[in-house]
Amino acid sequence: MLNREGIKTLKTWYYKKLRKPLLIRGARQVGKTTLVRMFTEMENIKLIEINCEKPWSFIPLIKNLDPVEVIEAIEFELNITINPEKSLIFFDEVQSIPSVLKLLRYFYEEVPEYKIVTTGSLLEFVLDEPEFSVPVGRLELMYLGAFSFEEFLLANGEKSAFHFIQSYKIGDAIAKNYHKKLTQLLRTYIAVGGMPEVVNAYINRQSIIELERIKSSILDTFKLDFHKYKKNTNPKLLSIIFDSLPIQIGKKIKYSNINRSYKSNDISKSLYQLYLARIVTKVFNTSCSGIPLSAERKENFFKCFLLDIGLIHTQLKLNPFEIRETAELNYINNGVLSEQLIAQQLNFQRQDFQEPELYYWAREKKAASAEVDFVIADSKRRIIPIEVKSGSTGSMRSLQIMVFEKSLCHAVRFNSEPPSIFHEERRTILGDAKYNLYSLPHYLSGQVVRLMNELD
């Protein structure tokens, strides 16, 4: 059984005295349905699972928005009695019957003793329709993505490696044998990825060829989904964009680089739909003049990353053995995988009821342009720039420009070397400025928010 961090969220939600219906959001095949089933099995809770794609006879009653009537109809059709204290009602694939989401409000207001969870593939398309409104304030949200590196370690029984990463503190030394093992485990994660079905196949010692077959099947399923929801979509263009994005990773998106045969507005619309489906993550440019970073978000300037590093590996037709053996990741597709890795790890370093958001910084001036890969804010409202290096070396010019221009105290670099700390100082027109550069190995990328929060 593939245990996940989301189990803790479900447990907290289920057992608290006051709860709202829970909506789990995330891309197809990241394990939303499996997570609910795992939780009820682990906690010995009776699961009443309603797949909304099936022709249940009680479906027409949902539009009446009477939760008691719906409960009674479900009990009659399934020949069961639902005890709200020891059961969970799970509406899956709710994009097929959006009125279920409207019903959630009345579950909360009229029969809050019932525990209700909903989720669905391509649900985001439904939620984006102008005529549909989510019952804000009447439900709780949870966001689920692919397995993080830490979850991958636990799934593979690497508990000592997991706890080592979780307990690492800035300034701690890492022995060579630990560094080597963690780097090898990370390379395996890069090749396998974090899609639950693929992780499970890897754990069960299925062949590399079988893992690639499963990932190819997942990629094909995404494309087939584009045809399921034809309203206001162009399935062909969605597929073209989806296939082109791996070579666009880490670059500011220019629609002409994706396809010159389509209008920019059409590409923009389809790319947004991939973003809605949570297959694509947008990293927006921000000026970084203050907190929150979203206050100066530039909607038309963004980079894209995809759902899972393992799927990108398959899309690019990379050799998994090469990833495991190559000394530096920058030899593999110009370091694309290292930026995807960091984006993926950063994306879910927040409470899972908060929608993921990522930013980068760029200054576009002739002969003085600069760009920093990622920017985060810690719990003390400090802006932290993050530079990603595929190997052990690389220029730090852009990061230094940003640090001194924005008067920042801390910065992070991810590379392939063991951790180290550098104290940088420069004389400016405002006086002497200095900052600390924390150089961390890629395998600590899932801990960077915690590590920065712990700094004085």
In a domain, 216, yes or no: yes
pLDDT at position 425 is: 78
Residue 279 shares a structural domain with residue 344: yes
pTM higher than 0.85 for the full model?
A: yes
Residue 135 shares a structural domain with residue 274: no
In a domain, 82, yes or no: yes
Average of per-residue pLDDT across 325-346 = 75
Q: Which of 312, 233, 256 is nearest to 280 (CA)?
A: 312
pLDDT at position 449 is: 95
Residue 107 shares a structural domain with residue 215: no
Per-residue model confidence as pLDDT tens digits over 342-399: 999 999 888 888 888 999 999 877 667 899 999 999 999 999 999 998 766 567 889 9
Residue 82 shares a structural domain with residue 222: no
Res. 108 pLDDT band, cuts 50 70 90: very high
In a domain, 1, yes or no: no
Residue 204 shares a structural domain with residue 227: yes
The residue written with tokens 């939303």 in the block is 32
pLDDT at position 196 is: 96
* CATH number of the domain bearing residue 14: 3.40.50.300
What integer best gives the mean pLDDT of the chain? 89
The residues, any chain, with a CB within 8 Å of residue 241's CB and separated by 6 or more, are 258, 259, 267, 270, 271, 274
Residue 278 shares a structural domain with residue 172: yes
pLDDT at position 34 is: 95
Question: Residue 268 pLDDT more than 70?
Answer: yes
pLDDT at position 231 is: 66
pLDDT at position 137 is: 79
Residue 424 shares a structural domain with residue 446: yes
Res. 424 pLDDT band, cuts 50 70 90: confident
The residue written with tokens 């910084």 in the block is 361
pLDDT at position 189 is: 95
Average of per-residue pLDDT across 160-167 = 97
Contact 283, 358 (CB under 8 A): yes
In a domain, 320, yes or no: yes
CA distance 253 to 268: 10
CA distance 140 to 117: 9
CA distance 52 to 96: 6
pLDDT at position 432 is: 65
Domain count, the chain: 2
Edge-to-edge strand list for the sheet holding 116-119? 46-51, 87-92, 116-119, 22-25, 140-143
pLDDT at position 325 is: 61
Residue that terminates a domain, selected from 143, 160, 185: 143
Per-residue model confidence as pLDDT tens digits over 389-398: 876 656 788 9
Question: Residue 335 pLDDT more than 80?
Answer: no
CA distances from 165 to 111, 182, 227, 247 (A): 43, 9, 42, 31
Res. 127 pLDDT band, cuts 50 70 90: low
pLDDT at position 73 is: 97
Residue 191 shares a structural domain with residue 96: no
Residue 81 shares a structural domain with residue 199: no
Question: Residue 131 pLDDT more than 90?
Answer: no
Question: Residue 216 pLDDT more than 60?
Answer: yes
Residue that terminates a domain, selected from 121, 143, 165: 143
pLDDT at position 143 is: 93
Structural domain that includes position 308 = 150-453
In a domain, 393, yes or no: yes
Contact 199, 152 (CB under 8 A): yes
pLDDT at position 369 is: 83
In a domain, 315, yes or no: yes
Q: Is the dihedral of CA 5, 153, 33, 275 positive or negative?
A: positive
Residue 125 shares a structural domain with residue 162: no
In a domain, 194, yes or no: yes
pLDDT at position 331 is: 44
Lowest-pLDDT choice from 87-91, 211-215, 391-395, 438-442: 391-395
Residue that terminates a domain, selected from 88, 117, 143: 143
pLDDT at position 128 is: 67
Residue 236 shares a structural domain with residue 377: yes
Res. 229 pLDDT band, cuts 50 70 90: low
In a domain, 238, yes or no: yes
Residue 56 shares a structural domain with residue 100: yes
- What residues pair up with 363 in beta bridges, in sequence order? 370
